[in-house]
Amino acid sequence: MAQLAGVRRQFVKAAMAAPFLEREEERALAVRWKENRDERALHMLAHAHMRLVIALATRFRHYGLPPADLIQEGHVGLLEAAARFEPEREVRFSTYATWWIRASMQDYILRNWSIVRGGTSSAQKALFFNLRRLRARLARDTNQGDPSRIFATIAQAIGVSQADVELMNNRLSGPDVSLNAPVAQNDNSSMTEQVEFLVDDKPLPDEAVGDSIDTGRRMNWLREAMGVLSERELRIVRERRLAEESATLEALGVRLGISKERVRQIENRAIEKLRRALIERHPGDAASAMI
């Protein structure tokens, strides 16, 4: 471990001691790499900008990830920038490379900061990396600690919902906790785990089976009762009450060649006929079978 730390220090020292490149030197190296695939030119270009990688890595030190890994990811971004750089645009390489270095580090942080993946959209990514800074600045500028108002302002600034801001704030407030982590001991000295406190909102198996049987029975009743409807009544009921997207009275009227008021009258009459049919056949359970 001590030897590895020593290697890191030497690497950083060598990077910080690398000479700065003038604009023309920088451009000449970029041209040599782009046009001739001169690997020596690429090495010199990358070596001269490793101090930029190290400087950007220090900005992300608060996320708890190894600095050496951040620098390594930044180096990958630096090489990607070198591969895509176009010297003829007359832009300094350091300006262009900064974006790629930062993006590479941010992607690494999002992949490794938590086992729960977050920041999949650009807005969520911006929220992840700016929440702490914006929260601290707003709390200082407004001189008040109302979290709700601060979260609302951040949500508007970044373009996400306030619920997203609150959720991200909770995630950044503490590390991941395993569901198998112990929380207490009971009288039998056996360990109680976090998972035992999770509440399942789903119905019990016997309730789910009962609901499924009841639903199937009611659907059969309804299909039998629909036999009393005329063809036009049946069509209106299906499109108004049974389709995933209910048709409007006006749309149905156009298709059937009648007014929307007439469609409403036929629908009401059909529902009343269904109600009477269900009451006659299943008087005790007719109400639960109605649509």
* Residue 139 and residue 106 share a domain: no
φ, ψ of residue 183 in degrees (nearest 5): -120, -25
102 in Cβ contact with 56 (< 8 Å): yes
* Residue 132 and residue 100 share a domain: no
* Residue 156 and residue 221 share a domain: no
Is 227 contained in some domain?
yes
- Structural domain span for residue 37: 9-112
pLDDT, one tens digit for every residue, the chain (291 residues): 555 555 567 767 777 777 788 888 889 999 999 899 999 999 999 889 999 999 999 988 888 888 889 999 999 999 999 999 998 888 899 999 999 999 999 889 888 877 666 656 677 777 777 777 777 777 776 655 677 777 788 888 787 787 887 777 777 776 666 777 777 655 555 667 777 777 777 877 888 888 888 888 888 888 888 888 888 988 888 888 888 888 898 988 898 899 989 989 999 998 998 888 888 887 766 545 555
pLDDT of residue 284: 64
The CATH number given to whatever domain includes residue 214 is: 1.10.10.10
pTM score: 0.54
Closest CA to 291 of 237, 249, 245, 229: 237
Is 83 contained in some domain?
yes
The CATH number given to whatever domain includes residue 34 is: 1.20.120.1810
Is 160 contained in some domain?
yes
Is 251 contained in some domain?
yes
* CA distance readout (Å), 209 to 38, 75, 77, 206, 219: 70, 58, 55, 5, 15
* Residue 108 and residue 34 share a domain: yes
pLDDT of residue 116: 64
pLDDT of residue 19: 79
Closest CA to 100 of 77, 71, 117, 72: 77
Is 71 contained in some domain?
yes
* CA distance readout (Å), 32 to 84, 96, 120, 126, 181: 13, 18, 37, 36, 56
pLDDT of residue 242: 82
* Residue 223 and residue 253 share a domain: yes
* Residue 162 and residue 83 share a domain: no
* Residue 130 and residue 154 share a domain: yes
Query: Of 93, 112, 131, which residue sits at a domain end?
Result: 112
Is 102 contained in some domain?
yes
